[in-house]
């Protein structure tokens, strides 16, 4: 009994250790402000990243469209011009009405249209109208029977310039006929920085040997 009373006295002398268990401690204003600031920074960073990734993907897609369109147009015109035949009609109904017999190609006054006889012996021409490269074909070897023009480029791109230049187009100049063409193409976009641009220039030599006839 005496021993138990002594233990009680000893325990009374010592205060209980404080504990935080079960205490509902709230956030301070500073902690809330820091948490909100971190959340805002992370949200803005994620939004900027997504916007940048989307813009980069869109730019890549439009650039691919321009490259595909320009490559397709250049390849198609080059193949047709390479297989051109010499104008041998004396008129009045022929294809090359300006230069006449003995020539392989004919340009207009502004050099943005070229006319020739195709390998199928049909009168054919490429030219710029507005912001499109167009093609016309006749049903025969004269210009009188041209069909409806067909666009070689789509509405997804704008052709800003098209120029042709000739070398050795006459059969009397002792030169193999060559055609050089150049065009500028850009994607359709509201903002200038979102418009992708390409320039294409190439020279085509006529496949058939230029023998005077």
Question: Is the predicted pLDDT of residue 3 greater than 80, yes or no?
Answer: no
The parent domain of residue 164 ranges over 67-205
**What is the count of structural domains for the chain?**
1
- The rounded mean pLDDT for the chain is 81
Identify whether 124 is part of a domain. yes
Identify whether 51 is part of a domain. no
Q: Is the dihedral of CA 174, 86, 204, 201 positive or negative?
A: positive
Which pLDDT value is given to residue 210?
62
Whole-number Å distance between alpha carbons of 123 and 115? 7
pLDDT digits 0-9 by tens, 35-50:
777 877 877 777 776 6
Identify whether 77 is part of a domain. yes
Which pLDDT value is given to residue 90?
73
pLDDT digits 0-9 by tens, 128-183:
999 999 999 999 999 999 999 999 999 889 999 999 999 988 777 778 899 999 99
What are 71's two structure tokens? 């490559």
pLDDT digits 0-9 by tens, 44-101:
777 776 666 565 566 667 778 889 999 999 999 999 999 998 888 776 678 998 887 7
With beta carbons less than 8 A apart as the criterion, state whether 151 and 157 touch. Answer: no
Whole-number Å distance between alpha carbons of 61 and 149? 29
Identify whether 15 is part of a domain. no
112 DSSP β-pair partners: none
């Amino acid at each position: 009994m005496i021993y138990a009373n002594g233990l009680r006295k000893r325990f009374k002398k010592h205060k209980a250790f404080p504990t935080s268990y079960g205490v509902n401690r709230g956030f301070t204003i500073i902690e809330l402000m820091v948490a909100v600031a971190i959340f805002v920074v992370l949200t803005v960073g994620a939004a900027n990243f997504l916007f940048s990734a989307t813009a980069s993907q869109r730019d890549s897609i439009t650039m691919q469209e321009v490259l595909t369109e320009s490559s397709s147009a250049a390849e198609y015109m080059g193949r047709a011009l390479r297989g051109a035949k010499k104008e041998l009609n004396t008129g009045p109904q022929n294809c090359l009405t300006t230069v006449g017999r003995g020539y392989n190609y004919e340009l207009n006054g502004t050099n943005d249209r070229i006319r020739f006889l195709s390998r199928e012996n049909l009168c054919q021409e490429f030219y710029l109208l507005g912001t499109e490269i167009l093609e016309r074909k006749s049903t025969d070897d004269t210009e009188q029977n041209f069909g409806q023009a067909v666009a070689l480029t789509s509405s997804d791109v704008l052709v800003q310039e098209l120029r042709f230049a000739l070398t050795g187009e006459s059969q009397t100049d002792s030169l193999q006929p060559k055609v050089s063409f150049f065009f500028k193409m850009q994607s359709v976009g509201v903002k200038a920085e979102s418009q992708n641009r390409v320039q294409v220039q190439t020279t085509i030599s006529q496949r058939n040997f230029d023998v005077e006839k």
